[in-house]
Amino acid sequence: MTSEVVENEFEFYSKAEKYWKDVPATVDGMLGGYGHISSIDINSSRKFLQRFLRDSPNRTGTTRALDCGAGIGRITKRLLLPLFKTVDMVDVTEDFLTKAKSYLGEEGRRVRNYFCCGLQDFSPEPNSYDVIWIQWVIGHLTDNHLSDFLKRCRAGLRPNGIVVIKDNMAQEGVIMDDVDSSVCRDLDVVRKIIRRAGLHLLAEERQENFPDEIYHVYTFAMR
């Protein structure tokens, strides 16, 4: 549990904000020096997501998506804008959202809102999103804030909408990273938080072809 490793909640959040302010507004910066894995990541995410967008009675719509912890818009540009009519982005670092406006190019006209906000304080507009995509950012929330945020995401879904988390998973327990002020949870802890938020897991998948030295990465779809 994060309560065991996060000693000071205010410091936990403020230290993370300070860390990201010093990170270059580039794909390599967003990925902690692993910019070369971006295409592998996006291609796997697209395959994972498209299974929910295919024709079926309970097909997830393609009207509007939300990119949480969006940074400069790497996922918005390459995954969400090609599949959805409009996208909203939320990130705690204003410089990243400013950079996104040039990084996204012409297609960026279909980004409706740039929300500068930490996810612990952000509420998706109710009944608005077909997909809420949350990648490499849950480690910056305490367990309680993550559970509460996921509850707000559930309320933000349109009919047949899904919430997707893609993130690093620890082998066991919860590991604190003092450098960027984040935590890495194991699979059981993440599943418990998802259940606590009242969400039901639809699919779970381990990312393949990532470098051996980094954490295992898993993708979850839920509603």
Q: Which residues are annotated as a binding site for S-adenosyl-L-methionine?
A: 69, 74, 91-93, 119-120, 135
CA 127 to chain CA centroid, nearest Å = 19
Q: In a 3-state reduction of DSSP, which class is residue 42?
A: helix
Among the listed residues 77, 12, 19, 11, the one whose alpha carbon sits nearest the alpha carbon of residue 45: 77
* Confidence (pLDDT) at 123: 98
**Residue pLDDT tens, the chain, 223 long:** 787 899 999 999 999 999 999 999 999 999 999 999 999 999 999 999 999 998 788 899 999 999 999 999 999 999 999 999 999 999 999 999 999 999 999 999 999 999 999 999 999 999 999 999 999 999 999 999 999 999 999 999 999 999 999 999 999 999 999 999 999 999 999 999 999 999 999 999 999 999 999 999 999 999 9
Domain boundaries, the chain: 2-222
Q: Which residues are annotated as a binding site?
A: 69, 74, 91-93, 119-120, 135
Cβ neighbors of 24 (< 8 A, separation 6 or more) are: none
* Confidence (pLDDT) at 187: 98
* Confidence (pLDDT) at 4: 82
For residue 214, which phi and psi values (nearest 5 degrees)? Answer: -95, 165
As a dihedral over the C-alpha atoms of residue 206, residue 114, residue 180, residue 168, rounded to 10 degrees, the angle is -10
Answer for the pair 136, 104: CB distance below 8 angstroms, yes or no.
Answer: no
Q: Mind spelling out the 3-state secondary structure of 125-156? A: CCCCEEEEEEECCHHHCCHHHHHHHHHHHHHH
* Confidence (pLDDT) at 151: 98
Q: Could you list the beta-strand ranges (E) of 42-200.
A: 64-68, 86-91, 111-116, 129-135, 157-169, 174-177, 182-185
For residue 88, which phi and psi values (nearest 5 degrees)? Answer: -110, 150
Which CATH number is 2-222 given? 3.40.50.150
Cα gap 149→155, rounded to integer Å: 10
